[in-house]
Structure 1
Amino acid sequence: MLLSALKTNDEIFRFPPTFLPEKPMWNHFAEAWLLAPFDQYLFNSIFTATCIVLIQVFNSALIAYAFTQLQFRGRNLLFAIVLLTYMLPTAVTYVPSYVLLADWGMLDTYQGLILSNAVSVFGIFLFRQSFLQLPKEMMEAAKVDGAGHWKILWTIIFPLTKPMFITFALISFVQNYNSYLWPSLIMTSEEKQLITTGLRQFFIQEGAYGIQWPLIMAASSFAVIPLLVLFAVAQKWFISGINDQGVKG
């Protein structure tokens, strides 16, 4: 992608292909950046994905704690119902979700996009499995010492499962950052477009439906770079979280 952004159209489609451009066209990045509001697209994607991740991590931890540490009638049945919702194809939820957001006046708003992604069944399942691996004696000892549920969750369970929190946060961020179909249905204003829908507009307008491939590759690079930086920063905890699940599970 990066190398193609530095080539001309002829070099991209040359046969046999060349790996490096004869003369790097660095101006393609500046030209693509100026042709569309990529700074706004990136802000929209990063802002909404970050808000969604924070909410999902918070409520997934609370729900998983309830399923693992609280005893109440119908707990297993309720968890089974939660898992059943995960088996639904995402597309079948679009129409009822769209109708609800329309009734609440939240179409084409950040609040609507964030609220409609506020719960992650995968996060609930992942946290529950992680919490089940912790020794029950530790929780019982904390309760004997007078610790409440809130303190147990955030001062005992969270430090012990921090890699799993970071792993889920990274997975959720990438998923919501890359989300395309649902945002394209509810976000119509150009200033509120995410980077995924913004790239589509760029492909149609400035990319002339695939005629200006160097500019399209340069624009695509803008979308990929934040994810590469994020993974480079968080890979230590991400790999640790995956290894923990592989050894203990």
Structure 2
Amino acid sequence: MTGARHAALIGFSLLMAFPFLWMALSALKTNEELWNFPEVWLPAIPQWHNFLDAWNSAPFGQYIFNSAFTALVIVLVQTLNSAMIAYAFTHLEFKGKNLLFSLILATYMLPAAATYVPSYIMLADLNMLDSYKGLIFSNAASVFGIFLFRQAFLQIHREVIEAAKIDGASHWRILWKILFPLSKPSFATFGLISFVSMYNNYLWPSLIIKDEKLLLITAGLRQFFVQEGAYGIKWPLVMAASTLAVIPMLLLFIIAQKWFIKGLSDSGVKG
């Protein structure tokens, strides 16, 4: 049974990894070899220069920095806001707490596209269109983060919190000196998921950001694809550019995988 289970897991892993492997291999092929797939799986002579050509054909370094910078700032803001709101729902008493939490969860069921028009109007009124301020402000809250941190905080022994209150610890100190260290896997899980989501975000940023210097990697890839109608037929360069865009995400997951897996299986101290 163990061997069959491992074989099934390996098969599913290869299935999930196949799109990236095919993209990376296609980046090393000529146009003719790429179009002859699946007859041609491997390039006869790896075209490593495709990566350099793609990198030099558009400011991908700037695009990747833009996406990484905005994603990092958004993750920090979302983490701060979500942790404070989750703390209020778990360790503060106020009228209508359960109703308010239910309303917050209900907003998670709204399609993202349904919020685009009112969000766009609000950013226009605040003069935040075509800026990172608007992108960060419009993503400052995360319902998923609030829910995840609330569940993690609920699993921590209340005696620990009561002891800290008796010692005179403030709410801020309890949150970041007690709850945060005991919930690090949940924070790491949320940070990774949120960062990947913001890094790969395309539709909303493309609606509010038009300045080419501020484009994220997703919009930059599209710009590269359609630029002057030329790169749409140079698929190896498109695949090379797409591979370059994915590499930061792979490195991030390799670094954070221990915390990510731990966060999925366990959150804080069971109580």
Q: Judge same fold: TM > 0.5, yes or no.
A: yes
Match for residue 159 of structure 2 among 137, 153, 162:
137
Q: Quick one: distance in 2 between partners of 1:126 and 1:13?
A: 45
CA contact (8 A) 1:207 1:216 kept: no
1:125 aligns with 2:147: yes
Question: 1:68–1:128: 8 Å Cα contact kept in structure 2?
Answer: yes
Q: CA deviation at 1:209?
A: 6.2
Q: Which residue of 1 aligns with 2:187?
A: 165
3-state DSSP of counterpart to 2:45: coil
Q: State yes or no: 1:228 paired with 2:222.
A: no
Residue pairs, 1:1-249, within 5 angstroms: 1-14=23-36, 16-205=38-227, 208=230, 210-245=232-267
- Point out where structure 1 has 5 or more consecutive residues left out of the alignment: none
| Matches of 2:96 and 2:210, distance apart in 1 | 42
Q: After the TM superposition, which of the residue ranges 39-48 and 197-206 deviates more from structure 2? A: 197-206
1:210 CA displacement: 3.3
Alignment length (residue pairs): 249
Matching residue's letter, 2:195: F
Please identify runs of 4+ aligned residues in structure 1 that moved more than 3 A.
206-210
User: Does the 8 A contact of 1:199 with 1:219 survive in 2?
Assistant: yes
| In 1, Cα distance between equivalents of 2:30 and 2:248 | 25
- Deviation for aligned residue 1:157: 0.6
Alpha carbons of structure 1 residues 6 and 71: separation in structure 2 relative to 1, 3 Å: same
In the alignment, the residues of structure 1 paired with residue 163 and residue 82 of structure 2 have an alpha-carbon distance, to the nearest angstrom, of: 24
2 CA distance for matches of 1:208 and 1:234? 38
In the alignment, the residues of structure 2 paired with residue 15 and residue 95 of structure 1 have an alpha-carbon distance, to the nearest angstrom, of 42
Q: Distance in 2 between matches of 1:15 and 1:99?
A: 47
Inter-CA distance 92–15: structure 2 relative to 1 (3 Å threshold): closer
Structure 1 residues 16 and 194 mapped into 2: Cα distance closer, same or farther (>3 Å)? closer
- SS in structure 1 of the partner of residue 246 of structure 2: helix
C-alpha distance in 2 between matches for 1:241 and 1:153: 18
* Partner in structure 1 of residue 10 of structure 2: none
Describe the shift of the 1:16–1:98 C-alpha distance in structure 2 as closer, same or farther (beyond 3 A): closer
Separation in 1, partners of 2:215, 2:198:
13
Letter in structure 1 aligned against 2:89: F
Question: Which sits farther off after the overlay, 209-218 or 27-36?
Answer: 209-218
1:248, CA displacement in angstroms? 6.1
| Sequence identity percentage | 67
Quote the Cα distance in structure 2 between the aligned partners of 1:53 and 1:33. Answer: 27
TM normalised by structure 1 equals 0.96
Is the 2:31–2:234 Cα contact (8 Å) retained in structure 1?
A: yes
Q: C-alpha distance in 1, partners of 2:93/2:64?
A: 44
RMSD value over aligned CA atoms? 1.7
In 2, the alpha carbon distance for the partners of 1:102 and 1:193 equals 18
Separation in 1 of the partners of 2:106 and 2:118? 17
- State the TM-score, normalized to the length of structure 2: 0.89
Give, in whole Å, the separation in 2 of the partners of 1:248 and 1:226. 34
The gaps in structure 2 that reach 5 residues or longer are: 1-22
Report the Cα distance in structure 2 between the residues aligned to 1:4 and 1:17, rounded to whole angstroms.
Answer: 13
